[in-house]
Chains A and B, each alone.
Chain A
Amino acid sequence: MRCRKARSYLSAYCNDELTDRRRLAVNEHLSTCSSCRKEEAFQRSLRLAEKQLPRLAVSNDFNTRLLNRIAAERFAETRTKAYLPKRAPVLAWSKVVPAAAMTLVFLVMGVITFLPDKNGDPGYIAAGDAATSDNRYLTVQPVNNPNMTINLDKDWSLNAQLARAERINRISDRITPAGSFGLASNVTQVSSRSIRPLPYVDHYFQVRSVVRIYKSTETSSAEEDLKTY
């Protein structure tokens, strides 16, 4: 065994912590190496000094102060226990079960009684109402919405709106056939080279034809239009 390895085992050797095999190997090395023997002597003096370390002690009134503190703890424990019931309440199942059963019955009856009626008015137009059209859910409007203060009496269903659009188209076709508003065919672009129709003329007049609905001379249709929209 070399010095370096032997010295790494010296502290354990001095404390009798080595196995027999290793202790014998260290012994053998120490018998031949004086510097390691000096190191061993130093380690042993350290071990001796450890046993002679000054022992730290508590103060003389340590026990008194501690027991006073413990007494305060016991007093606190006693005070807490005084407010607790001595025994946990035992459940009388013969009384609990009927009471629970009655409570359950009342709950069921309450649920049945206060279940909302399907045919009643829930405050809004319900989806899939059999009395009205199936498509009403597409245009449902809340009755109580304060923002919707205008046209509340109007029918906003999809069918009504489609009917309204159909009427407008019918009226616009009656007044001005598509692409021919009197002057449409005469409006052309004058240029030095050729005469050709203005672009987007047909569309322009189609838009204008809708506006003219309100200026139609046919009073009955105009009144009807004013009423509907």
Chain B
Amino acid sequence: MAKQTEKDIDYSLIRAVQNGDMVAFNELVDRYKGRLMNVIGRMLSSTEEAEDIVQETFVRVYQHRQSFNFEHCFSTWIYTIGLNLARNELRKRKKFKYYEISEMQGNEKEFAVEMKLPTRLPEVLDTAIKQLPEKYRTAFMLRDVQEMPYEEVAKILSVPLGTVKSRVNRARMMLRDKLQPRMEEYNALSKSTLLPVSIL
């Protein structure tokens, strides 16, 4: 029932945006900027680029506001735009190698010491998620982190329902295989609050 209410709110907001209401557009931005950043930020692993992609997503939503089909879900539509932009950015990265500024500085030892090392399981999991292959990572993020239904994830990714379930299951197995060997060690070390230790 709550989901249905959210859907209705989205519809009323987009209808107002179509009529030129910028306050409604601002409200839409506030509703979805966090969710989009949560997914796209983990796809690109660079906060600045992810923010640019999220901003571009909203610009595209505004540009094509009149072509929104009310038979579909607004969240499906905006996630599809955002993920397509993120994938295009990833494809661009494969053609041109991007160097981080820290690598170019050449002071790797200092960089390693200053880096904040993960100490809690969520942070360890976060690192592990970023190391998943792109298609498994996207499906996992949408299903397990954003808690979207399988049907909606299938529409966003434009793949069959069975494929989504398979990818999510595969992502869970990969995370489990990655974290399982160190699980007991982690459990013992995480009880200590004095020494920050990196598991991965």
Contacts and interface: CB of A to CB of B under 8 A. Distances in A.
B55 A50 contact: no
Q: Which of A62, A63, A66 has the most CB of B within 10 A?
A: A66
B50 A69 contact: no
Contacts of B180: 42
B29 A63 contact: yes
Interface in A195-225: none
Contacts, number: 79
Given A46-B179, A53-B145, A56-B41, A67 B26 contact: yes
Interface string A4-44: 00000001100100000000000000000000000000110
Interface of A: 11-12, 15, 42-43, 45-47, 49-50, 52-59, 62-63, 65-67, 69-70, 73
B14 to A, nearest CB: 15
Given A65-B55, A66-B29, 20 more contacts: A15-B144, A45-B121, A49-B124, A50-B145, A52-B120, A53-B129, A54-B123, A54-B126, A56-B38, A56-B41, A56-B50, A57-B37, A58-B51, A59-B51, A62-B51, A62-B54, A63-B26, A63-B30, A69-B55, A70-B62
A112 B51 CA distance: 71
A228 B124 CA distance: 109
B7 interface: no
19 contacts: A11-B172, A11-B173, A11-B176, A12-B169, A42-B176, A42-B180, A46-B176, A47-B144, A49-B125, A50-B144, A50-B145, A52-B120, A53-B126, A54-B123, A55-B38, A58-B37, A66-B55, A67-B22, A73-B59
